Amino acid sequence: MGRSPCEKAHTNKGAWTKEEDDRLIAYIRSHGEGCWRSLPKTAGLLRCGKSCRLRWINYLRPDLKRGNFTQEEDEIIIKLHSLLGNKWSLIAGRLPGRTDNEIKNYWNTHIRRKLLNRGIDPTTHRPMNETNSAQEMIRISFGSGGGGGAVSMKEEQDENEDHKIMITSSNDKFDEKATRMVMERCPDLNLDLRISPPHQNQKETCGRNRGLCFACSLGLQNSKDCTCNSNGTGSSNKINGSSAYVFLGLTKAGGVLDYRSLEMK
DNA sequence: AACTTTCTCAACCGCTAGTGA
DNA sequence: ATCACTAGCGGTTGAGAAAGT
């Protein structure tokens, strides 16, 4: 037995032909998206619904932006990846006209290598020779390991007022009790977002400031493009008289990131 | 020109979450 | 609670293109 939606006989695989594309476009234009399972039959396509959906989303959608990624898009991808990890669909949600597949490919073929060449670990976004010593940390990670489901939360405060809030889970199904605990402590935190802010040893990379400019995130600490190590401009701000910094539009003040400004689709 | 290697990216596969019966 | 099913996500593959020899 076993269900395998794309294993049907007489189902085309591989590259799409112009005729198939035209059929799919025409069908979706007149009927709209959805019901992918039944779409191939009604549209007269010898493809599985899954394949049709992918073709439409990744290639045929009229709002897609084709062509090279801009420097600005590079920057957004790198920063979002450092926040979200390989959550390509979330990253794509912040880049209009780009698909998760496209961003994933671009990451693997271009950005990954660029970071590696600069000695930056593309997974952790930290210098490759840096140890795991973390002094200031706000890390929320929801590991996708199988089984278990244990969730723990730990908050510490050291002498210089920096908070460490660690929430770890071995299961994506976030425990409700732990969620309540977090929400009591951090009512502004939107746990629908699976966010893992990067640890950056900012004192080393950007001198006295706590923000990390794009140039520094690429390992170009002393470049002319660095905007975070000189005059307090760039990504470091004072908010209400207390120290705070902005990371991709997220404000961290008093140890709490304000995620409200990062709305996802 | 011919062949080999490397790169790119569209498409596929397997898995999970969500939903309704 | 369980099952059947769909939609969607992220990792991987492989065909074609480009670059190198």
For residue A148, what are the CA distances in angstroms to A56, A142, A170? 37, 12, 6
Q: Which nucleotides of B are covered by protein (CB under 7 A)?
A: 7-14, 16-17
Task: Note the pLDDT of residue A9.
Answer: 55
**Residue A58, amino acid:** N
Separation between Cα atoms, residue A125 and residue A206, nearest integer Å: 15
Task: Note the pLDDT of residue A130.
Answer: 62
Say which nucleotide is closest to residue A87, CA to C1' distance: C10
**A195-252: per-residue pLDDT in tens?**
333 343 333 333 333 444 444 444 444 444 444 443 333 333 333 333 344 444 444 4
8 A C-beta contact, residue A262 and residue A248:
yes
Q: Which nucleotides of C are covered by protein (CB under 7 A)?
A: 5-12, 15-16
Which residue shows structure tokens 């002319």? A224
**A62-74: per-residue pLDDT in tens?**
888 877 888 888 8
DSSP character string of A71-113: HHHHHHHHHHHHHHSS-HHHHHHTSTT--HHHHHHHIIIIIHH
Residue A38 predicted with pLDDT over 80: yes
Tell me, in Å, how far CA of A179 is from C1' of B12? 36
Confidence of residue A23 (pLDDT cuts 50, 70, 90): confident
Task: Note the pLDDT of residue A4.
Answer: 40
Give me the residues near strand C, CB below 7 A.
A 3, 5, 14-15, 34-37, 49-50, 53, 86-90, 100-101, 104-105, 108
Nucleotide B8's nearest residue (CA vs C1') is A109
pLDDT over 90 percentage in chain A: 0
Separation between Cα atoms, residue A120 and residue A129, nearest integer Å: 9
8 A C-beta contact, residue A153 and residue A139:
no
Separation between Cα atoms, residue A207 and residue A221, nearest integer Å: 9
**A106-153: per-residue pLDDT in tens?**
888 888 888 887 788 888 888 877 644 443 334 444 333 333 333 333
**What tokens were used for A174?**
């976030």
State phi, psi for A55 to the nearest 5 degrees. Answer: -60, -40
DSSP character string of A164-197: EEEEEESSSS--HHHHHHHHHH-TT--TTS---P
